[in-house]
Structure 1
Amino acid sequence: MSDPAFLVPAALGTLAVLVRLPSLRRNARDPLLRSVAAYLLTATGVLYFGAPSMIVKVNETTGVPNFAAPLLYSVLMACCGSGIILIINWRGGPPVRIRRATRWCAATYAGLAAAMYVLFALGEAPVERLQDLDTYYANTPYMREMIVLYLVGHSAAAVLMASLGRRWLSAVSRELRAGLGLMIAGCTLALGFDLCKFAAVGARWAGADWDVLSTKAAPPFAAASFCSILLGFGVPLIVQRFEEPWRDWTRYRRLGTLSRLLHGLTPAVAVVRMPLFATVGVRRLHREAGIHDGLLTLNPYFDFDLRARALADALADAPAGGATDEDAAAEADALMVIAAVDALRADPEGRVVASFKELQPEPGGRSDLVRLSRALERLLPTEPRSPAPEGEYA
């Protein structure tokens, strides 16, 4: 494969590492964040050091033919170990068990990485091979063992990560389930890489030439595996990052009809100006506060007898229309609010307010404001626009 096939995914991995750095600095002791950063860093390193131009550069810099091989394989072992550790920390459990499993995994793959250099030093690999080192030296003492060892370590990590992810899959839902599914798919693709390599090396042992499996078929599996696993880790993080703003925006938008109906009912001195660049969460809170202020202004004009009659009518019609009891209550509240707005506008001198003695219950609650707004959408023929002075919570 050419350099772009390695460097483009590596660039994506580098970007992911940079995105996670601020969180890592703020929570340097968080084992999950550390394991995410370690996995992304080592996986990106595998792609960088696997690029043909980087292999040539490493060999030239060190002056040792094929020194890029143990370097690449050791980084791959670090990636495998950090991937398993990430799954262990992501899944959670008793801290003692997590620490024990983490140490065992780190020690195992650190030992495998060290063994790569020992076996390379003991072997003889004078001819530089950029793409077919696995098959070219498949029958060379010590080099053969190094090749088999990295394939076994990589296959074991892929199987273990897929197994842990599959066990966890039934216990999670939504974005985490999608992320785990992508990770499992990535581990399966990684096994495809190993199978191609094993088949090509085994063919060399048998005296055949299946090098094309190692040089042409295996690398695409590696690149696709990395992208799938990277997406698997990224999907839950991205969804969690944007889920709350999306909920705020959805609620803000759905409260629009109710907000516009109550727009301008609150005295101008009570209106709080909204900053131009306020977040959607702040705008949602501001809109809700304005709605509650408007409902408080309407409180003296609420006619609960009207609401009771409207609720009875709505409940009577509910079975035929398929509406729920909550929908019927929201429709009754909406009719009462509309009537209260009309009553307030018909009382410019505030006689009702002057004779008002006791605060009445507010229609609905925080959880029902959206339902109330949607009921207003059905009842009002056009978007309500009050001629009251300019306000800020509409």
Structure 2
Amino acid sequence: MNGQDYYIPAVAMGVSLAFKLPTLRNNWRDPLLRSVCALLTLAGSVFTFAAPPTIEAVNRWTGVPNFSAPLVYCLITAFSAACLVLIVNWRGGPPEETRRVSRRWILGYGAVIVALSLLFLLGEAPVERVRDFDTYYANTPYMRELIALYLAAHNVAAIVMVAMCWRWSLQVRGWLRVGLMIIVLGYIFNLSYDATKMTAVVARWSGHDLDWLSTDLAPPVASLGALISAVGFVLPLVCQRISDSWQNWTTYRRLGALWHEVQISAPGGAPCVRMSWWAAAELRVIQRESDIHDGFLHLGPYFDQRHRDEVLARALAGGADEETSRAVADAAMVAAAVRARAADPEGKVIGASEESAAHAVDGPRDLVRISHALRHSQVVAEARRRTVLSAAPGAGRSAS
């Protein structure tokens, strides 16, 4: 593998981290978010410093042959600790217990990092090996222990990661479950990386030569696993954002009929607040709901509870369920109030309680139902035609 094969997954980890940073900035105290960001940072660092061009550069800058080897191994070990801490926080539980277990893993893998550094200092590795350090020094005192220790630590973390993510995926649904399954697949490739590395090292211990497993096969397996894992981390977040945005735009569009219906009730035809074209869909929905609520307040004196009850009874008799019938009745009452308000330009109808408007405003979902009924309900259309024929200024004052 050349440097590009390492830098591509490093960039993938950086992109994943970029998606997480805005959320981390707003929720810095969230240990789960901190764990995810630490994992992605360390994963990107592992691939950056494991790239052959970076290895050569670090060795040259430090003046120590193979200085990059313990550096990369320590980063891999820190990455393994980040995986375990992430799983502990993801699993949840009592905060004190979560912190205690996280500290235990951090201290344990911190001790491994110290041991790796000491083993490198005690051993001798005078010949620079950019691509095959593991197998070249597999039988060298202290280097042998160093290699086995970092592989064992990484293997333990990968096994725990697969087990915990698989268990978690069985308890959740949606994009989170898909993301967890992808992470499991990515870490299965990490286990394959450990297996190929250990096979090549053990072969050296027994006097055989399977160096190609470590030199040629293990790096692309690790790269592929990292890319798959990065997708698993990013996919739930990105898809959830897309889903939320789509839902907000859908709600905004569905509220259109009701919003247009109540606009004529604004005093003096006052225009609603105009939002910039780049405004988020969520803000647009909030503004549209606010405009509708304001319209209801102005229409309050013209709401006719008896008219609503009549339409409700007709809708129920027609076989509609209770929620749909209430929405149809509210829509008919709103349509009738709009026409009654238009027939009373001087605003002579006064003194009605605002509570008459409140019952039709039970939340955004009800507003969507009312808006849908205004556009599609035949019962509302019939009530609208009757109102045009019989409505008069001051008629239909609310009875509640």
TM-score bracket relative to the smaller structure? 0.7 to 0.9
1: distance between equivalents of 2:105 and 2:136? 31
Partner of 1:104: 104
Q: Which residue of 2 aligns with 1:179?
A: 179
Q: How much has 1:110 moved relative to structure 2?
A: 1.7
The TM-score with structure 2 as length reference comes to 0.83
1:375 to 373, 376, 392: 373
Q: Return the offset for 1:44.
A: 1.1
Seen in structure 2, the aligned counterparts of structure 1 residues 269 and 345 have a Cα distance that, compared at 3 Å, is closer
The one-letter code sitting in structure 1 at the alignment partner of 2:306 is D
Q: Does 1:302 align with 2:303?
A: yes
Report the Cα offset of residue 232 of structure 1: 3.1
Q: How does 1:56-135 map to 2 (within 5 A)?
A: 56-135=56-135
Q: More displaced, 46-55 or 245-254?
A: 245-254
Aligned partners of 2:275 and 2:284 also within 8 Å: no
- SS across alignment from 1:209: coil
Which piece of structure 1 moves more, 138-147 or 186-195?
138-147
- Which segments of 5 or more consecutive residues in structure 1 lack a partner in the other structure? 385-394
Secondary structure of the equivalent of 2:265? coil
Deviations 1:94-134, CA, capped at 9 Å, x for gaps:
23322321222112212222222333333343332222222
User: Which residue type is aligned with residue 288 of structure 2?
Assistant: R
Q: Which residues in structure 2 correspond to 1:29-68 (within 5 Å)?
A: 30-68=30-68
Report how far residue 274 of structure 1 moved.
Answer: 2.7
Partner of 2:294: 293
Give the direction of change, closer, same or farther, for the CA distance of 1:236–1:127 in structure 2 (3 Å limit). Answer: same
Residue of structure 2 equivalent to 1:388:
none
The code of the aligned residue for 1:292 comes to H
Runs of 4+ off more than 6 Å? none
**Which structure 2 residues correspond to residues 1-394 of structure 1 after superposition, within 5 A?**
1-17=1-17, 20=20, 30-238=30-238, 245-268=245-268, 271-276=271-276, 278-318=279-319, 323-351=320-348, 353=349, 357-359=352-354, 361-362=356-357, 363-366=360-363, 367-379=365-377
CA distance 1:343–1:103, shift in 2 (3 Å):
closer
Instruction: Give the aligned partner of residue 390 of structure 1.
Output: none
Identity of counterpart residues, as a percentage?
45
Structure 2 unaligned blocks of 5 or more? 385-400
Deviation at 1:343, TM superposition (A): 3.2
The count of corresponding residues between Structure 1 and Structure 2 is 376
CA distance, structure 2, for counterparts of residue 165 and residue 25 of structure 1:
25
Post-superposition Cα deviations, 1:51-76, rounded to whole Å, max 9, x if no partner, equal 01011112222333222111111111
Could you tell me how far apart the structure 2 residues matched to 1:218 and 1:21 are? 31
Distance 1:25 1:332 in 2: 46
The structural deviation recorded for 1:147 is 1.6
2:303 and 2:356 in contact (8 A); partners too: no
Q: TM-score when scaled to structure 1?
A: 0.84
- Once residues 286 and 106 of structure 1 are traced to their aligned partners in structure 2, the CA distance between those partners, rounded to angstroms, is 47
Name the aligned partner's letter for residue 151 of structure 1: L
The Cα shift of 1:229 comes to: 2.7
Query: Match of 2:126, SS?
Result: coil
Deviations 1:262-281 (A, max 9, x none): 22321137545334254433
CA distance in 1 between counterparts of 2:219 and 2:78 reads: 19
TM-aligned CA distance change 1:202 to 1:147, over 3 Å: same
Distance in 1 separating the partners of 2:26 and 2:342: 54
State how far apart, in whole Å, the 1-side matches of 2:174 and 2:22 are. 26
Q: Is the 8 A contact 1:330 1:364 kept in 2?
A: no
| Larger displacement relative to structure 2 (181-190 or 333-342) | 333-342
24-33 vs 39-48, greater mean Cα deviation: 24-33
Segment drifting more, 11-20 vs 220-229: 11-20
Q: Distance in 2 between matches of 1:316 and 1:357?
A: 30
The 8 Å contact of residues 80 and 154 in structure 2, kept in 1 or not, is answered as yes
Q: Which moved more, 1:9-18 or 1:75-84?
A: 9-18
Where 2:356 maps in the other structure, the secondary structure is: coil
Given that residues 42 and 79 in structure 1 are in contact (C-alpha distance below 8 angstroms), is that contact kept between their aligned partners in structure 2?
yes
1:127 aligns to what SS in structure 2? coil
Distance 1:360 1:60 in 2: 78
Q: Comparing 339-348 with 75-84, which one deviates more in the overlay?
A: 339-348
Q: Are the aligned partners of 1:252 and 1:287 in contact in 2 as well (CA < 8 Å)?
A: yes
CA distance in 2 between counterparts of 1:346 and 1:269 reads 15
Give the CA deviation at 1:188.
1.4
